[in-house]
A and B are shown apart, each in its own frame.
Chain A
């Protein structure tokens, strides 16, 4: 799972450096843009502008990191799922996220960076991941809310990425979207069981909706007038729709689902505008969003610490695997020689 609402400041912080463009490069760039405009897929060996490559490496690796960090808040409930069926479904879901991380790291590797390098950037705090995972999952209803809302928001963002101009990313997204849709239905079904359950379960579901609603809207990133790279990414067909367009689609799709559950969206200004056919919603508190980006979310420290601990605790295992592979190679050579 992932969205574009990552570190807006980092995106603004790395503008392509202005430099002279040679005639050859201008011709290549022209040809590149023609291919993108004609909806041809760009493949790893094709020529591409440096900015395009950099943008993709950043976006795909942030997406991969988000999948990996995203395993933590949901993994938090794997040992406490209330039925064996729910336990299996949640384990499988978290496992899918690990799998998404794998395909995405592989897609990023086609652009000339190694997975170790990218993971190193995550662990050092240099690379970002989706802020949504810095919120905690204190109750079981959070597992439903994440599936329904967070995966739902992710799907809004990701379906257009299946048509992204970069072939390996687009193909990875096709598979990921299929699995995410399944997760979203599972999450909604979990919420439905709670909403139709005992008063305590319903309270649990409402509480989770209260906490996840606004962060889910923030997942689409800053408003269009604040979004730094949108125009270039649209021209490169990395991005197809603006943040605000996607956010609106999400609200329009989700409000009736909440009504069906009998839950209340925590926004007193929310109302349906019959003229436009869309829901109008209240202003987003970007202060909270920005604070989380700065590292002040409820779980920023724990998430990175958990990833570092897994990596550090596993060092001796990875070293042993390499040492054993070396020994086997040596023995095979000896036998052959």
Chain B
């Protein structure tokens, strides 16, 4: 693999890994506080899967980079501007409806991406995708079912998820952004084409929104910057909490 391609793949694995980690972290904030015991367990399950994906992806990113950074070095010793996650996943939980909308918009993209990544010409990435896709298929069913329940539930629940959809839609464009590095990976058959992904995502999202009796928001201005390390104010607090121990005790192993 050429150095440029390797750098591009490092960036891609890092973005996927960071996105999984930050979303897994957000979901883990629900642990012990969900609306129902079954849902507490379900959200924790998804959080566990996502942190599991992050571990595989960050480990691989570290190997590609070749500077000796392992999953923990990458997770715990980078500041906001070195994180590459999508802005969508760092948005705070707010309420359960907001959490579900955020999750569904992400899951619908992740499932389409991992389905295609299983056929990646990069064996390691294909292996990670083969494992992750089984879990992500369940995630999208879970978040989609809840979105339908809440959208087509009571007036209160409908209003809450409609509001969340309006707030979060602006972060969806970034998931399908194209840049030169990614184009090179697409051309090499290593990652799926974002154009194709967006079409598949749109079809999935529209079908669920219809069942949920929710209107699809208009595609207005899209917030971007995650892949360049330009984040919202929320990520800094999340990292401050997550990284507290390794930062406070830099010489310790745990």
Which A residues have a C-beta under 8 Å from some C-beta of B?
68, 71-72, 75, 78-88, 91-92, 94-95, 98-99, 101-102, 105, 140, 193-194, 197-198, 200-201, 306, 309-311, 313-321, 323-324, 327
Contact = CB atoms under 8 A, between A and B. Distances in A.
Contacts of A320: 149-150, 153-154, 156-157
Given A79-B242, A310-B32, A316-B156, A201 B249 contact: yes
A303 to B, nearest CB: 10
B28 A101 contact: no
A316 B154 contact: yes
Determine the interface band of chain B, counting residues with CB < 8 A from chain A. 35 or more
A79 B242 CA distance: 6
Interface in B18-41: 21, 25, 28-29, 31-41
B204 interface: no
Nearest to B54: A84
A193 B41 CA distance: 28
Contact of B157 (A87, A140, A317): A317
B13 to A, nearest CB: 15
Contact of A200 (B48, B55, B58, B252): B252
6 contacts: A80-B244, A82-B254, A84-B21, A95-B48, A316-B154, A320-B154
Interface of B: 21, 25, 28-29, 31-41, 44-45, 47-48, 51-52, 54-55, 58, 71-72, 75-76, 95-97, 148-150, 152-154, 156-157, 160, 241-242, 244-246, 249, 251-254
B51 A91 contact: yes
A90 to B, nearest CB: 9
A324 B153 contact: yes
Residue among B35, B45, B242 having the largest count of chain A Cβ atoms under 10 Å: B35
Contacts, number: 140
Given A98-B44, A320-B156, A84 B31 contact: no
B77 to A, nearest CB: 12
Contacts of A198: 249, 251-252
Given A82-B246, A84-B75, A88-B48, 17 more contacts: A71-B31, A79-B29, A80-B245, A83-B76, A84-B51, A87-B51, A91-B31, A102-B37, A194-B254, A198-B252, A200-B252, A306-B32, A313-B95, A314-B36, A319-B156, A323-B154, A324-B148
A34 B149 CA distance: 51
Contacts of A81: 245
